[in-house]
Chain A
Amino acid sequence: MDLGIAFGRVAFVMLFVLNVGGLLTWVERKQSAIMQDRIGANRASIFGLRLMGLFHPLADAIKMLTKEDFRPARADRFLFTLAPFVSVFFALAAFASIPFGDTLHLAGREIPLQAITLNVGILYVFAMLSLGVYGVMMAGWSSANNFALLGGQRAAALMISAEIAIGASIMGVIMVYGSLNMQDIVRGQGEPLLPRVFGAWIPAWGILTQPLAFLLFLTAGIAATKRIPFDMPEGESEIIGYFIEYSGMKFGMFAMADFLESVVIAGMTTALFLGGWQVPYLTAGGFQFPWGWTLGLPHLLVVLLQVSAFVLKVSAMIFVLMLIRWTLPRFRYDQAMRLGWLGLFPLSIANIVVTGLILLVGRS
């Protein structure tokens, strides 16, 4: 039974991430269309039912599955096939330690609403993100194409530069909430912020306690997942990327890995900076407003509200990521490197120092 519950948690997370990743192709098209004052893709239909173009991800999947699966003659056979799987695997696995709800008490059991509960949950996400570099490098090298190799090296250099900035900017959040366990950080965001000043009015969300870290993490996260404005590895219209020799479903898997990593970054930002599954003023027993009202709610409803809050926040973050994607032009390679090493990284270190000082002064 315990095994079934663990399997259920993992299945929930995987299905959530995979479905949102699949929907993201539709979101990207529709959101870009709305931003650019056009209609977007809406022709795919089943039995005449168009549904605002929601069948287009399905049509895309069918198209990719039925394309010829081509492999260059001199390509390294094993690595060429393995590379897209590695990319997708580590992008999926990264979401595992992000909590999507408080502990569920059901039929005498305590079910933690995380796929895996690790005391070092944040480090686990970083580990999976840093292993995702191998998919890109293997793709570039095994294609037996010099331009693909250069594209793979560009992508790998960008990803490892951004990872350092991600790690350093998270340090401030870890110092404030005092734990590497993501569930503890999300719980800590339910506490009131500066209770002697604001009473119980403002919850201590990460974006309020660490605003600079939020901006740095968002920028570094977009860089690490190679989204626009940092997509010079792929370039799409200017420069050849690392998946130039891939076709059909393997290419589809690289695109899928791209979207899955976007979901991971949105999930991490939500969990660390936007309060995760916390609804303001909602505690385990129900609502407790700071002006004195209380509203008792059954436990299952509270958990449902919290999970819905998490999904809503992740969707909002994905909306913001798409907004940034369709607004900004892309960085040049040296501009992106300069930003990563000379901009994000020193600012993260300064953030750590300032946070440390404030915590030291505040506790004494």
Chain B
Amino acid sequence: MIPEAYYLALSAVLFTIGVVGVVIRRNPLVIFMSIELALNAANLALVAFGQRHGSPEGQVLVFFVMAVAAAEVAVGLAIIVAIFRLRQRLSVDDLSLMRW
């Protein structure tokens, strides 16, 4: 039996990698994918906790997270494609219409 600390450690490292990816990349699609990576790391932690308590509630929560992530990805990609159609360029640094 793998102690759940290992799963949680892996989840923490994957989450950190996802967050670092959001900061250092400029392509909005890759930023979005790093967010998905962080979401998956959280899912892994949820399932590990659920197994520790022996109930399937962790898996049900992950199920909902997956459904919400699917909806979010669809809408986010539609937004990015719409912006690309408008501006013909894909760099998050340019997408700053606000003052500061």
**A–B direct touch in complex (beta carbons closer than 8 A):** no
The interface of chain A, by Cβ under 8 A from chain B, is none
